[in-house]
């Protein structure tokens, strides 16, 4: 049997041994964790890096596909179809750019994890080497992505230029439902309304102005009647139309009428002109100047009001056979086509 | 008679001839024209003519032409002078010594005719009732029982509607009484109150200022305004072809300064509505004036309606805020 003193010594030794063992277990656990994390972090980082490589390869294939597609578009005869394809390509460019942006974000996260992992002193040399390899890959990805962004930007600009180089459409339907026909060739082309502004549309515009609300546009198949309005009312309509269409619409002047006549575009009714009436009679010129009266020019090619083609009329006058056309620059048609096709492509899945 | 008798008579005949010749030479050499005595009328020629006066009706701004008979009397006159004779002074005569060699004596009862001249007198006569006259060979007017003709169509005003025309000559013609010229003027910016109308004389064409005839004052004033002008225009709603419509412009000065040289003019695409002048002149504060014009709607007027604007001008310039525009429908 052990003496109490011996028993105390044995207990103390056992206690020390126990404490040492516990320390060993703890350090082994810690080492195990470190090893586990060192093995798990490089593994997840590596996987993520591999995934980034796959994503990059997908983007490379997409860009190559787009480049191939771009070469086929100029062969399309239909201008609208060309624009649609260009717009689809722009959409794909947009997606690519978004992908690159997301990839850059992910890669930044991976790079941060690599940096954190490399701070661990218990990493094995193998693990450390893998981490460095991942970091190098990420760096390479970043450079290639930057290059791809530049390529996409350049290609997008070229697509934009290609769209811009396309001729304006021969006609278009405005937002207010006015059919506009192209007259002349660029850069002097412009659009003119196919017919005089209708009475129903004029009334709708007036109501819209008065009530400050969206116009109740007439149906496309509504019976047509020329707006029986004076010059001031016609000008107010053009102001409203310009605001509504977000483009400039005006009443044509004498030079435009001369162009229309050259192209054999002749309205059935007499139409208001934005030009002031000029006469050769000296007495009349002096009287107009003295009394400050403005006579507005009217183009009456079918001689509905008078025996002459160009006449002067008081701006307050209105007749059933006197209407007005509207004109707008060629860019309006181009912009309108762009707007409609962009919407169509944007709505595609 | 024998030759001997001829030879005796021959000196006597020569002496007689010499005496006659010398006497006549002496006479012509001595008789002269003296002082002027009188003017004799050789003959008088009367020619019937007429005169025209322009005035304004009491209502409606209508010109009134008054035709009166007139006699153009041409008086052929000659000036008569004393006959004087010069005789040499005799040496035996007593009295003062004259330097002149000859003495001048008036032959009583004997006169010498001098220069001939014509003088024209205009003698106004009575009004010419129920007579027809043409104006410029285009328009025909007929006088009433008082010799007056109311220019209902305002033809006279139409002659001056062109503001670039300040005067025009009207030729009135009658079948029997001949032609008469008449200068019509329009002095818009008179610098003084002196009348422009010139009374007719034999040597001048009568001149009438249309604004004076209408009793309007277009004298330029130094202190004028334009505020307070109120313009009312009476015009029928419709205009049927081949009818006459009347536009009446009433101008009222509700300001406190005279509106100077006020005029209104019509402007229209259609010739029958365009260019008619309405004259007011100087419009004093508180005063109202009216002027009317006739418009003959033509047979082939515009299909559905006609538009006309009335524009205002005064000495300070155009007054665009006073412009009024109208639409005349076809009934």
Cα separation, A76 vs B310, in Å, equals 63
Cα separation, B323 vs B331, in Å, equals 25
DSSP-derived secondary structure letter, B97: P
Provide the sign of the torsion angle of the four alpha carbons A235, A240, A241, A243, taken in this order.
positive
The answer, yes or no, to whether residue B20 has pLDDT greater than 70, is: no
| pLDDT score recorded for residue B310 | 96
Average per-residue pLDDT in chain B? 85
Substitution target in B298, B300, B306, B307 with the highest count of A β-carbons within 10 Å is: B307
Query: Three-state SS for B132?
Result: strand
| pLDDT score recorded for residue A138 | 92
Q: How many CB pairs under 8 A join A and B?
A: 61
Predicted structure pTM score: 0.73
| pLDDT score recorded for residue B42 | 93
| pLDDT score recorded for residue A38 | 46
Measured CA distances, B96 to A49, A276, B89, B103, B142 (Å)? 167, 99, 11, 13, 79
Q: Which of B162, B183, B215 is the last residue of a domain?
A: B215
Q: Are residues B59 and B185 in the same domain?
A: yes
| pLDDT score recorded for residue A6 | 75
Q: Name the helix (H) or strand (E) containing B255.
A: none
The residue among A147, A164, A146, A155 whose CA lies nearest residue A89 is A155
| pLDDT score recorded for residue A40 | 47
pLDDT band (50, 70, 90) for residue B21: low
Which domains does chain A carry?
Answer: 28-165 (1.10.132), 171-346 (no CATH)
Q: Are residues B66 and B136 in the same domain?
A: yes
Q: Are residues B209 and B295 in the same domain?
A: no
Closest CA in chain B for residue A282: B164
Residue B257: phi, psi to the nearest 5? -135, 150
3-state secondary structure chain A: CCCHHHHHHHHHHHHHHHHHHHHHHHHHHHHHHHHHHHHHHHHHHHHHHHHHHHHHHHHHHHHHHHHHHHHHHHHCCCHHHHHHHHHHHHHHHHHHHHHHHHHHHHHHHHHHHHHHHHCCCCCCHHHHHHHHHHHHHHHHHHHHHHHHHHHHHHHHHHHHHHHHHCCCCCEEECCCCCEEEEECCCCCCEEEECCCCEHHHHHHHHHHHHHCCCCCCCCCCCCCCECCCCHHHHHHHHHHHHHHHCCCCECCCHHHHHHHHHCCCCCCCEEEEEEECCCCCHHHHHHHHHHCCCCEEEECCCCCCCCCCEEEECCCCCCCCEECCCEEEHHHHHHHHHHHHHHHHHCCC
Query: Which CATH number goes with the domain that contains B278?
Result: 2.60.40.10
| pLDDT score recorded for residue B196 | 61
B218-247: pLDDT as tens digits: 888 887 888 899 999 999 988 888 889 999
Cα separation, A79 vs A218, in Å, equals 30
Cα separation, A269 vs A273, in Å, equals 13
Q: Are residues B209 and B289 in the same domain?
A: no
Average pLDDT over residues B245-265: 93
Whether residue B97 is contained in a domain is answered as yes
Q: What percent of chain B has pLDDT over 90?
A: 43
Contacts A320 to B, Cβ<8 Å: 304
Whether residue B72 is contained in a domain is answered as yes
Provide the sign of the torsion angle of the four alpha carbons A38, A43, A45, A46, taken in this order.
positive
The three-point CA angle A319-A325-A330 to 5° equals 175
Residue with tokens 């798990």: A40
Whether residue B315 is contained in a domain is answered as yes
Cβ of A306 under 8 Å from any chain B Cβ? yes
The residue among B219, B233, B315, B228 whose CA lies nearest residue B266 is B233
Whether residue B7 is contained in a domain is answered as no
Contacts A295 to B, Cβ<8 Å: 267, 269
Cβ of A221 under 8 Å from any chain B Cβ? no
pLDDT band (50, 70, 90) for residue B61: confident
| pLDDT score recorded for residue B10 | 81
| pLDDT score recorded for residue A234 | 96
pLDDT band (50, 70, 90) for residue B202: low
Q: Are residues B205 and B260 in the same domain?
A: no
Contacts B313 to A, Cβ<8 Å: 290-291
| pLDDT score recorded for residue B94 | 54
Which residues does A11 contact at the CB level (< 8 Å), separation at least 6?
Answer: none
Q: Are residues B286 and B201 in the same domain?
A: no
* Chain A nearest CA to B300, separation (Å): 11
Kindly list the averaged pLDDT for each block of 10 residues, start to end, along chain A of length 349: 73 65 55 49 76 94 94 91 94 95 94 90 88 92 95 94 91 94 93 94 93 88 83 96 96 94 92 93 87 94 90 93 95 92 90
Distance of CA A299 to the CA centre of its chain: 40
**Considering only residues 218 to 277 of chain B, which have any Cβ-Cβ distance to chain A shorter than 8 Å?**
265, 267-269, 275
Q: Are residues B44 and B117 in the same domain?
A: yes
The residue among A59, A163, A154 whose CA lies nearest residue A107 is A59
Closest CA in chain B for residue A316: B325
| Encoded tokens for A191 | 């659009």
Q: Are residues B188 and B241 in the same domain?
A: no
Say what the ipTM of the complex is. Answer: 0.71
Q: Are residues B280 and B186 in the same domain?
A: no
Residues facing B81 on adjacent strands? B36, B112
Cα separation, A160 vs A154, in Å, equals 10
B84-103: pLDDT as tens digits: 998 776 655 555 655 566 78
* Chain B nearest CA to A314, separation (Å): 7
Closest CA in chain B for residue A305: B302
| pLDDT score recorded for residue A195 | 93
Q: Which of B215, B248, B273 is the last residue of a domain?
A: B215
pLDDT top residue among A190 and B121: A190
Contact between A296 and A312 (Cβ < 8 Å): yes
Q: Are residues B109 and B238 in the same domain?
A: no
Cβ of A290 under 8 Å from any chain B Cβ? yes
Q: Which residues of A135-161 are buried (b: 16+ CB within 10 A; e: fewer)?
A: bebbeebeeebeebeeebeebbeebee
Contacts A321 to B, Cβ<8 Å: 303
pLDDT band (50, 70, 90) for residue B74: very high
| pLDDT score recorded for residue B98 | 56
Measured CA distances, A277 to A272, A274, B76 (Å)? 11, 9, 62
Whether residue B238 is contained in a domain is answered as yes
Whether residue B210 is contained in a domain is answered as yes
The residue among A178, A214, A156 whose CA lies nearest residue A333 is A178
Distance of CA B38 to the CA centre of its chain: 32
The residue among B311, B228, B319 whose CA lies nearest residue B275 is B311
Whether residue B68 is contained in a domain is answered as yes
Residues facing B88 on adjacent strands? B102
Closest CA in chain A for residue B328: A317
Q: Which of B215, B244, B272 is the last residue of a domain?
A: B215
Cα separation, A48 vs A112, in Å, equals 13
The residue among B200, B233, B221 whose CA lies nearest residue B322 is B233
- What is the residue range of B259's domain? 229-329
Number of domains in chain B: 2
Q: Are residues B203 and B308 in the same domain?
A: no
| pLDDT score recorded for residue A66 | 94
B135-189: pLDDT as tens digits: 998 889 999 999 999 988 888 899 889 888 888 999 999 999 999 888 898 888 7
Query: Three-state SS for B6?
Result: helix
| pLDDT score recorded for residue B44 | 94
Provide the sign of the torsion angle of the four alpha carbons B36, B41, B47, B51, taken in this order.
positive
Cβ separation B164–A290 shorter than 8 A: no
Contacts A317 to B, Cβ<8 Å: 269, 307, 327
Q: Are residues B72 and B211 in the same domain?
A: yes
Cβ separation B269–A314 shorter than 8 A: yes
| pLDDT score recorded for residue B162 | 87
């Amino acid at each position: 049997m052990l003496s109490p003193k011996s028993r105390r010594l044995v207990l103390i030794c056992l206690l020390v041994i126990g404490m040492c063992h516990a320390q060993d277990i703890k350090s082994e656990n810690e080492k195990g964790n470190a090893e586990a994390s060192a093995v798990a972090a490089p593994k997840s980082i590596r996987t993520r890096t591999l995934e980034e490589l796959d994503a990059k390869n997908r983007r490379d294939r997409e860009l190559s596909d787009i480049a191939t597609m771009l070469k086929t578009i100029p062969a399309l005869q239909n201008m609208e179809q060309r624009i649609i394809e260009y717009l689809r390509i722009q959409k794909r460019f947009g997606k690519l750019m978004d992908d690159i942006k997301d990839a850059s974000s992910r890669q930044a996260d991976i790079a941060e994890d690599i940096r954190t992992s490399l701070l661990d002193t218990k990493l094995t040399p193998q693990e450390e080497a893998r981490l460095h390899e991942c970091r190098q890959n990420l760096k390479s990805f970043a450079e290639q992505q930057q290059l791809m962004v530049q390529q996409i930007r350049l290609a997008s600009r070229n697509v934009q230029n290609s769209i811009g180089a396309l001729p304006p459409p021969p006609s278009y339907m405005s937002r207010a439902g006015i059919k506009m026909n192209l007259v002349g060739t660029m850069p002097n082309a412009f659009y003119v309304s196919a017919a005089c502004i209708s009475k129903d549309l004029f009334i709708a515009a007036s109501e819209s102005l008065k009530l400050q609300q969206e116009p109740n546009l007439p149906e496309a198949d509504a019976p047509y009647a020329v707006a029986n309005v004076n010059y001031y009312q016609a000008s107010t309509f053009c102001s409203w139309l310009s605001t509504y269409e977000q483009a400039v619409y005006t009443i044509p002047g004498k030079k435009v009428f001369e162009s229309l006549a050259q192209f054999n575009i002749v309205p059935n009714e007499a139409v208001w002109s934005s030009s002031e009436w000029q006469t050769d009679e000296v007495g009349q010129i002096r009287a107009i100047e003295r009394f400050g009266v403005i006579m507005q020019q009217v183009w009456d090619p079918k001689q509905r009001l008078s025996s002459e083609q160009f006449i002067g009329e008081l701006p307050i006058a209105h007749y059933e056979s006197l209407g007005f056309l509207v004109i707008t620059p060629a860019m309006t048609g181009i912009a309108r086509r762009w707007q409609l096709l962009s919407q169509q492509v944007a709505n595609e899945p | 008679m024998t030759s001997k008798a001829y030879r005796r008579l021959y000196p006597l005949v020569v002496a007689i001839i010499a005496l006659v010749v010398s006497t006549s030479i002496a006479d012509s050499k001595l008789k002269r024209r003296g002082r002027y005595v009188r003017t004799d009328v050789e003959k008088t020629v009367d020619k019937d003519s007429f005169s025209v006066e322009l005035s304004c009706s009491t209502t409606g701004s209508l010109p009134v032409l008054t035709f009166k008979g007139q006699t153009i009397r041409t008086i052929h006159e000659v000036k008569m002078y004393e006959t004087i004779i010069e005789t040499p002074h005799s040496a035996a005569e007593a009295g003062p010594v004259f330097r002149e060699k000859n003495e001048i004596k008036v032959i009583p009862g004997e006169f010498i005719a001098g220069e001939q001249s014509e003088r024209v007198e205009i003698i106004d006569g009575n009004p010419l009732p129920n007579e027809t006259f043409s104006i410029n060979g285009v328009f025909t007017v007929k006088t009433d029982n008082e010799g007056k003709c109311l220019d209902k169509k305002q033809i006279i005003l139409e002659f001056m509607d062109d503001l670039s025309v300040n005067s025009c000559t009207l030729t009135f013609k009658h079948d029997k009484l001949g032609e008469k010229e008449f200068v019509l003027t329009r002095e818009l910016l008179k610098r003084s109150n002196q009348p422009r109308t010139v009374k007719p004389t034999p040597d001048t064409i009568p001149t009438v200022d249309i604004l004076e005839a209408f009793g309007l004052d277009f004298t330029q004033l130094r202190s004028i305004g334009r505020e307070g002008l109120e313009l009312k225009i009476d015009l029928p709603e419709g205009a049927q072809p081949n009818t006459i419509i009347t536009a009446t412009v009433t101008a009222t000065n509700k300001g406190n300064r005279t509106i100077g040289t006020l005029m209104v003019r019509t402007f229209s695409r259609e010739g029958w509505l365009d260019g008619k002048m309405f004259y007011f002149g100087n419009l004093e504060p508180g005063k109202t004036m009216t002027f009317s014009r006739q418009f003959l709607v033509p047979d082939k007027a515009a299909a559905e309606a006609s538009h006309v604007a009335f524009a205002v001008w005064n000495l300070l310039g155009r007054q665009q805020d006073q412009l009024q525009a109208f639409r005349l429908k076809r009934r």
